[in-house]
Amino acid sequence: MDGQIRTRIKPGAKVRVVQKQHQRTGTLTEGIVQDILTNSPSHPHGIKVRLTSGIVGRVQEIVQEE
């Protein structure tokens, strides 16, 4: 499932994000959502979140919903 719709992403969900510095390569980082940083209901490049590890990135895939 893709991460462009804000209502699909909840704190505690396991997701894969792309960090700003990895946008060219498309390297994904997996983690648990701590905070949702995007306020708009959708975003074409993915909803920006902060993971529990402190990494900030845009959601590319939702692995497991909470």
The DSSP code sequence of 34-66 is EEE---SSB-TT--EEEETTS-EEEEEEEEE--
Q: Residue 22 and residue 66: Cα distance in Å, rounded?
A: 26
Would residue 1 count as lying in a domain? Answer: no
pLDDT in tens, 3-52: 999 999 999 999 999 999 999 999 999 999 999 999 999 999 999 999 99
pLDDT band at 1 (very low <50, low <70, confident <90, very high): low
Residue 47's domain is classified under what CATH number? 2.30.30
Neighbours of 27 (CB within 10 A): 12
Model pTM greater than 0.85? yes
Would residue 12 count as lying in a domain? Answer: yes
Query: What residue numbers bound the domain in which 53 lies?
Result: 6-64
Residue 66 has pLDDT above 80, yes or no: no
Q: Residue 44 and residue 31: Cα distance in Å, rounded?
A: 21
Tally of domains within the chain: 1
